[in-house]
Amino acid sequence: MSGAKRVHMFHLPILRLDRYNPTPEYLFFKRLFDIVFAVVGLVVLSPVMLFIAAAIKKYDGGPVLYRQCRLTRDGKKFNVLKFRSMRVDAEKDGVARLSTGEADPRITPVGRVIRRVRLDELPQLFNILKGDMSFVGPRPERPEIAAEYEKELPEFHLRLQAKCGLTGYAQVFGKYNTTPYDKLLMDLMYIANPSLGQDIRIIFATIKILFQKESTEGVAEGQTTASFQKPERSVKEETDVQTQHIAEEAEQKHNI
C-alpha cells in the first residue's frame, strides 16, 4: 500500500496498486551504477578474492566457486556464483535446504569465516557485470525453495517483478531466516518506490549489517526452508479489505 497512487472514480477516492514500473531513466542509471561499481569492486577486491580462493583450495582441494540455480526478474533462471563455503557433498541427497547457521556441520572452517562477513558473496560481482543481478534488489531464491513458499503464499512470485540483487530491503531489515511472508512484504515495499536514493541508502545500510551476527542466523535444525507463518489473510485479501474500509469511510464522510 505504500506505493499506491491516489486516484478518484467519480466521487470515490481509490488507492491504485500498479506493478513494478520504474522509469527508463532510473533503469539506465541503475545499470550504469552496477557496471561501474562491479568493475571497481573486482579490481579493488581482487587480492582478497585470490586469498580466499587459495584458502578454499588448500583446505580440501575442491572447487573454489559454487554455482547454484537462482531466480531473477520474470522467473528467469541463472547460475549465481559464490565462494564455496560448504563441503563438496553438502547436498548429496539432492534436497535443497537453507543453512542452519554457524553450527551447520556442512560448513568448512574457511567457509565459516567468509560467511560471517559475507565474503562468500563477492563472486556475484561477475553476475552483476553480466546483468543477471543488480547491486540492490530482492534476494535471488532457489527455484525449489521458492516453489515450496508459493504453495502456502502464491503471491511470493511478485518479488520477481524486479531484478534480484546482491543486497536488498529484505536482506537489510530482515535476516537469513526471516519468514517468506515478511520477506515478501519488505521486497514489495522496495518495488513500490524504485529510486536511486533508496538503492544508495540500502547499500550503506548493508555495510552496517555485515558486522551483525544475528543477520546471518540460520534456520532451525531439521528445516529445509525458513519457517512459514501463514498470515490470516493473503496479500490480495488484505488489500481488498483495506481498500473497502477506506472507501466506506470516504462514503460516510461524503454523506455527512
Confidence of residue 42 (pLDDT cuts 50, 70, 90): very high
Q: What is the mean pLDDT of residues 197-201?
A: 93
Question: Would residue 35 count as lying in a domain?
Answer: yes
Predicted local distance difference test score (pLDDT) of residue 220: 45
Confidence of residue 224 (pLDDT cuts 50, 70, 90): very low
Question: Would residue 169 count as lying in a domain?
Answer: yes
Predicted local distance difference test score (pLDDT) of residue 244: 62
Question: Would residue 251 count as lying in a domain?
Answer: no
DSSP 196-233: HHHHHHHHHHHHHHTT-GGGG--PPTT-SS------SS
Question: Would residue 104 count as lying in a domain?
Answer: yes
Question: Would residue 5 count as lying in a domain?
Answer: no
Query: Residue 80: which domain range?
Result: 24-237
Question: Would residue 14 count as lying in a domain?
Answer: no
Indicate the pTM of the whole model. Answer: 0.74
- Weakest mean pLDDT among 47-51, 135-139, 157-161, 237-241: 237-241
In total, how many domains does the chain have?
1
pLDDT digits (tens, 9 = 90+) for 61-72: 889 998 999 999
Predicted local distance difference test score (pLDDT) of residue 107: 85
pLDDT digits (tens, 9 = 90+) for 157-171: 999 999 999 999 988
DSSP 35-103: HHHHHHHHHHHHHHHHHHHHHHHHHHS--SEEEEEEE-GGG-EEEEEEE--B-TTTTTT--------TT
pLDDT of residue 54 exceeding 70:
yes
Predicted local distance difference test score (pLDDT) of residue 211: 67
The grid coordinates of residue 164 equal: 534480484
- Weakest mean pLDDT among 48-52, 132-136, 245-249: 245-249
Question: Would residue 123 count as lying in a domain?
Answer: yes
Confidence of residue 251 (pLDDT cuts 50, 70, 90): low
Question: Would residue 250 count as lying in a domain?
Answer: no
pLDDT of residue 26 exceeding 80:
yes
